[in-house]
Amino acid sequence: MPRLKKVVSKVSPQYWQLAVWLFLTAAYSATSVAQEALHQPWQALLSQHVTPINNGHSSQVDYAGMKKDQLKLSAYLTTLGTIDKQAFAQWPAHKQLAFLINAYNAWTVALILTVYPDLESIKDLGSFFSSPWSKQFIPLLGETRSLDNIEHELIRGDNKYRDPRIHFAVNCASIGCPALREEAYSADKLEQQLAEQTVRFLTDKSRNRFAEQSMELSAIFKWYGDDFTLGFRGSNSLPTFILLYHKVLNLTPAQQAGLQSEDMATSFLNYDWALNAVR
């Protein structure tokens, strides 16, 4: 035993730091690989059946192709349903958020497929008394949930993630929505993916237009305006959120000044609820 103590005492602090770093790196890599494997079936479906259009600002979905692969989609959704709520609670925030966005988007496609091709809009799946988003049909994290529950309780609820860019990632199967991304969201790429989706949507002049003293925006900004006032990267209002992207929007100094002073007149465009299907 004295000999062992002598050997251990000779191990440098740098060695132990390296050992801990290697252990943590391996653990993180294993987590990333596990999540990538979890969402790989959804990744395969998206890459095969979702196509960018409108110079990349939008995308269209081959629902007929999705329907042929419905068993694969169902298997993926079943796997999502096996995730334990307690295990989910232990995940880091970026892994949770990627999971929830993928679940919302995949279940939206599954809902469309329940009647496709006999619909023109996701709204056709609702009624006078109930919207399609309030239907409780999704087994997720130990409960039967609706799309509204996933979006408004799990993703937006309690401002847990405090990231308004989620509105450019979740997709409601409509032309007016931000593009359904052609790949699954993942923990290790989530920041890049959300950044790209935001620019992709904001720079779409068919949905967001800027004049010298006014702007016409997607109705998304009207419905969820409060989400853009929570201090994301220092912004505390919708104008200051948009100002974060003044370079990619090519805003003039006068437009930037108008946003900064919040003097820009704002109106909201009509929302196109037609199905985002291949035409």
Helix ranges, the chain (H): 2-9, 13-49, 63-68, 70-81, 85-90, 93-113, 147-148, 190-202, 220-223, 238-243, 253-261
Structure tokens at 273: 């609820």
What is the C-alpha to C-alpha distance for residues 150 and 96, in angstroms, rounded to an integer? 12
Burial group, residue 171, by CB count within 10 angstroms (0-12, 13-18, 19+): buried
CA separation for the pair 238, 243 (Å, rounded): 9
Beta bridge pairs of residue 275? 174
| Residue pair 273/122 in contact by the 8 Å Cβ criterion | yes
CB-based contacts of 226-229 (< 8 A; 24+ apart in sequence): 227/156, 227/164, 227/167, 228/164
User: Where in the chain are the domains?
Assistant: 15-268
Check: CB of residue 242 under 8 Å from CB of residue 220: no
Residue 262 one-letter amino acid: E
* CB contact set of 200 (below 8 Å; sequence gap of 6+): 56, 57, 168, 178, 179
Which single residue is written with the structure tokens 């409108």? 54
One pLDDT digit (tens) per residue for the chain, 279 residues: 555 455 445 555 555 555 444 444 444 434 444 667 999 999 999 999 999 999 999 999 999 999 999 999 999 999 999 999 999 999 999 999 999 999 999 999 999 999 999 999 999 999 878 899 999 999 999 999 999 999 999 999 988 899 999 999 999 999 999 999 999 999 999 999 999 999 999 999 999 999 999 999 999 999 999 999 999 999 999 999 999 999 999 999 999 999 999 999 999 999 999 999 998
pLDDT of residue 20: 46
Q: Any idea which residue has 């000044």 for tokens?
A: 257
Confidence at residue 158, expressed as pLDDT on a 0 to 100 scale: 85
Tokens of 200: 């992709």
Name residue 206's amino acid: S
From the list 250, 252, 230, the residue with the least C-alpha distance to 241 is: 230
Q: Which residues of 199-229 are buried (b: 16+ CB within 10 A; e: fewer)?
A: bbbbbbeebbebeeeebebbebbeebbebbe
The answer to whether 88 and 156 are in contact (CB under 8 A) is no
Q: Which two tokens stand for residue 242?
A: 């948009």
Taking Cα atoms as reference points, which of 245, 236, 194 lies closest to residue 217? 245
- The reply to whether the predicted model has a pTM over 0.75 is yes
